[in-house]
Amino acid sequence: MSSSYKGLGLFNSGPHRFAVEPAGSKVIPVFVLDGASAGSVPLGPLELIVVVTGRLVAGTEAALWTLRDAILAQLTTPTSGGLLIDHHGRQFAEVHFTEFAPGDRTDRGRLVTLGYTARFIKYLAS
Protein backbone atom coordinates (compact mmCIF):
# COMPACT_ATOMS: atom_id res chain seq x y z
CA MET A 1 0.00 0.00 0.00
CA SER A 2 1.21 3.51 -0.72
CA SER A 3 0.79 6.68 1.30
CA SER A 4 -0.96 9.85 0.18
CA TYR A 5 -1.92 13.39 1.14
CA LYS A 6 -5.05 14.82 -0.49
CA GLY A 7 -4.89 11.85 -2.87
CA LEU A 8 -1.31 12.62 -3.99
CA GLY A 9 1.50 10.08 -3.52
CA LEU A 10 4.02 12.76 -2.55
CA PHE A 11 6.37 10.49 -0.60
CA ASN A 12 6.13 7.21 -2.51
CA SER A 13 9.29 7.61 -4.61
CA GLY A 14 11.43 6.24 -1.79
CA PRO A 15 11.39 4.81 1.71
CA HIS A 16 9.46 6.81 4.29
CA ARG A 17 7.94 6.35 7.71
CA PHE A 18 5.22 8.00 9.75
CA ALA A 19 5.46 8.93 13.42
CA VAL A 20 2.82 10.46 15.66
CA GLU A 21 4.11 12.88 18.28
CA PRO A 22 3.03 12.46 21.92
CA ALA A 23 -0.58 13.07 22.93
CA GLY A 24 -1.81 14.52 26.20
CA SER A 25 -1.92 17.98 27.76
CA LYS A 26 0.33 20.98 27.30
CA VAL A 27 1.70 21.81 30.76
CA ILE A 28 3.90 24.79 31.58
CA PRO A 29 5.49 26.04 34.81
CA VAL A 30 3.47 28.78 36.52
CA PHE A 31 6.76 30.68 36.77
CA VAL A 32 6.50 31.35 33.02
CA LEU A 33 3.21 33.17 33.60
CA ASP A 34 3.94 35.23 36.70
CA GLY A 35 7.72 35.06 37.17
CA ALA A 36 7.56 33.91 40.78
CA SER A 37 5.22 31.02 41.60
CA ALA A 38 6.04 27.32 41.82
CA GLY A 39 4.09 24.50 40.26
CA SER A 40 2.65 23.81 36.84
CA VAL A 41 -0.58 24.55 35.02
CA PRO A 42 -2.24 22.63 32.17
CA LEU A 43 -3.06 24.79 29.15
CA GLY A 44 -5.08 22.23 27.23
CA PRO A 45 -4.78 19.25 24.93
CA LEU A 46 -1.88 18.82 22.54
CA GLU A 47 -2.64 18.92 18.83
CA LEU A 48 -2.19 15.80 16.73
CA ILE A 49 1.16 16.07 14.94
CA VAL A 50 2.25 13.54 12.32
CA VAL A 51 5.84 13.58 11.08
CA VAL A 52 6.88 11.86 7.87
CA THR A 53 10.58 11.22 7.37
CA GLY A 54 12.06 9.63 4.32
CA ARG A 55 14.00 9.95 1.11
CA LEU A 56 12.90 11.20 -2.29
CA VAL A 57 14.40 9.02 -5.02
CA ALA A 58 14.65 9.87 -8.73
CA GLY A 59 16.62 8.87 -11.79
CA THR A 60 17.83 12.40 -12.58
CA GLU A 61 18.38 15.73 -10.87
CA ALA A 62 15.47 17.22 -12.85
CA ALA A 63 13.15 14.39 -11.78
CA LEU A 64 14.14 14.95 -8.15
CA TRP A 65 13.25 18.64 -8.46
CA THR A 66 9.88 17.63 -9.92
CA LEU A 67 9.19 15.49 -6.85
CA ARG A 68 10.29 18.28 -4.53
CA ASP A 69 8.20 20.89 -6.38
CA ALA A 70 5.09 18.70 -6.11
CA ILE A 71 5.55 18.59 -2.33
CA LEU A 72 6.23 22.33 -2.04
CA ALA A 73 3.06 23.06 -4.04
CA GLN A 74 1.05 21.59 -1.16
CA LEU A 75 2.49 24.07 1.35
CA THR A 76 -0.05 26.86 1.17
CA THR A 77 -0.70 29.92 3.30
CA PRO A 78 -3.15 29.70 4.83
CA THR A 79 -2.95 25.95 5.07
CA SER A 80 -5.92 23.79 4.18
CA GLY A 81 -6.71 20.46 5.78
CA GLY A 82 -6.65 17.19 3.91
CA LEU A 83 -6.63 13.45 4.37
CA LEU A 84 -3.21 11.94 5.12
CA ILE A 85 -2.96 8.15 4.72
CA ASP A 86 0.12 6.21 5.77
CA HIS A 87 1.40 3.17 3.88
CA HIS A 88 -0.44 0.86 6.32
CA GLY A 89 -3.84 2.46 5.65
CA ARG A 90 -4.02 4.54 8.85
CA GLN A 91 -5.93 7.75 8.09
CA PHE A 92 -5.49 11.20 9.59
CA ALA A 93 -8.40 13.45 8.59
CA GLU A 94 -8.18 17.23 8.23
CA VAL A 95 -4.46 17.53 8.89
CA HIS A 96 -2.59 20.57 7.62
CA PHE A 97 0.77 20.26 5.85
CA THR A 98 2.80 22.88 7.69
CA GLU A 99 6.49 22.21 7.05
CA PHE A 100 8.86 20.47 4.64
CA ALA A 101 12.52 20.32 5.65
CA PRO A 102 14.84 18.89 2.99
CA GLY A 103 18.08 17.24 4.05
CA ASP A 104 21.34 19.14 3.93
CA ARG A 105 22.57 17.45 0.73
CA THR A 106 21.49 15.67 -2.40
CA ASP A 107 23.12 12.26 -2.78
CA ARG A 108 24.10 11.38 -6.33
CA GLY A 109 24.93 7.91 -7.63
CA ARG A 110 22.96 5.64 -9.94
CA LEU A 111 19.95 7.44 -8.42
CA VAL A 112 19.56 10.96 -7.08
CA THR A 113 18.13 11.14 -3.56
CA LEU A 114 17.21 13.69 -0.93
CA GLY A 115 16.28 13.06 2.69
CA TYR A 116 13.43 15.08 4.21
CA THR A 117 11.11 15.62 7.14
CA ALA A 118 7.49 16.69 6.60
CA ARG A 119 5.18 17.88 9.38
CA PHE A 120 1.39 17.73 9.52
CA ILE A 121 -0.85 19.17 12.26
CA LYS A 122 -4.50 18.64 13.08
CA TYR A 123 -5.48 21.94 14.62
CA LEU A 124 -7.75 21.75 17.65
CA ALA A 125 -10.13 24.23 16.03
CA SER A 126 -10.64 22.10 12.91
Q: What is the DSSP string of 88-117?
A: TS-EEEEEEEEEEEEEEEEEESSSEEEEEE
pLDDT at position 46 is 94
Contacts for 125 with CB less than 8 Å, ≥ 6 apart: none
Cβ within 8 Å of residue 7, ≥6 positions away: 83
Residue-wise pLDDT tens digits, 55-93: 999 999 999 999 999 999 999 999 999 999 999 999 999
pLDDT at res. 13: 97
Q: In this prediction, what percent of the chain has a pLDDT beyond 70? A: 99
The predicted structure's pLDDT at residue 125: 78
Q: What is the pTM of this model?
A: 0.88
